[in-house]
Amino acid sequence: MHAATRTAIYRRLRAANPAPTTELEHHSPFELLVAVMLSAHTTDKSVNAATRILFPVANTPEAILALGVEGLKPYIRSVGLYNTKSQNLIGLCRQLVERHGGRLPGDRASLEALPGVGRKTANIILNMVFGQTEIAVDTHIFRVANRTGLAPGKTPREVEDSLVANTPPEFRKDAHHWLILHGRYVCTARKPACPTCIIRDLCEYRHKTPAKKPPRGKPGRLARAIRGQRGARARNMPGSSANRAPGRRATARGLDVSGGPSVSGRARSLRRK
Ligand code: SF4
């Protein structure tokens, strides 16, 4: 993709959403880390449902550690893989308390050493908490980057490296959120909303969803006028039913040309009598 096209795509995404952010509810860096860690292989909605009941009870490493694995499970039961995630979250809290004084470490190696934290989660924390221009690649971003041509790649890491290398610096901080939201709500996996997509003309995807044909409703004024003119022309043509002798149609309804009942009409009325 040409650099100018890439810039144009980000400009449009920024114009549509100047201050993008995550949909995971949080009020502190630690809450964000917990929410992102829980969001692996599950929806933000189910994570928010869990953290809404967990965080009022425990929103620090020490408090969650005090719950223990079994005490934590009931709070995050709505999240997929909650058994494993309960163990990881307790391990994560223990490590934060024992090695980092209960605070989030600001380097990739320490973050990725936390149980349940991989490269994607570390990138989000480095970006959102520590202001680094890392770009986390999830399933939505992987799809959008490949379809549009922004950063084609066979693996999330390839896409990430390409995005980091080719995203203009002014967009790098927010690129993750723009692309994830675009993939979640517009460029969806099954049926991308190409006809209404704001970057349709810049996107290089060759199998764009076609626009729907307009429904066949009531004809517009112009169509009605044309239809009316055609009808008038047909009526004025020699031999049209409108130009035939008036008696023929009247006879078909059982009336004589002269105005009295026709033969068949008279026969019917005699039978009735
Ligand atoms: S035009 Fe279609 S394929 Fe391209 S980004 Fe938009 S929704 Fe996705």
**At residue 240, what is the residue type?**
S
Listed by start position, the domains of the chain span 1-208, 246-273
Please say if the pLDDT value at position 217 is more than 90.
Answer: no
pLDDT at 127 (0 to 100)? 94
- Amino acid 82: pLDDT: 87
Residue 26: pLDDT above 60?
yes
Pick from 270, 245, 267: nearest CA to 254 = 267
Taking alpha carbons only, the member of 35, 33, 69, 37 closest to residue 49 is 35
How far apart are the C-alpha atoms of 35 and 104, rounded to whole Å?
Answer: 14
Q: Report the CATH superfamily, name and number, of domain 1-208.
A: Hypothetical protein; domain 2 (1.10.340.30)
What average pLDDT does this structure show over 76-98? 93
The DSSP-derived string for 164-224 is HHHS-HHHHTTHHHHHHHHHHHTS-SSS--GGG-TTTTT---SSPPPPPPPP--S--HHHH
- Of 194, 201, 204, 209, best ligand 1 pocket probe by most atoms within 8 Å of the beta carbon: 194
Q: How far apart are the CA of 43 and the centre of ligand 1, in A? A: 22
Identify the DSSP state of 261: B
Q: What is the pLDDT of residue 271?
A: 55
Quickly state the pLDDT bin for 234 (edges 50, 70, 90).
low
> Would you say the pTM of this structure is higher than 0.85?
no
Q: Kindly state the tokens that stand for 33.
A: 């880390």
Q: What is the mean pLDDT of the chain?
A: 86
Mutate to test the pocket of ligand 1, among 144, 147, 178, 207 (most ligand atoms within 8 A of CB): 147
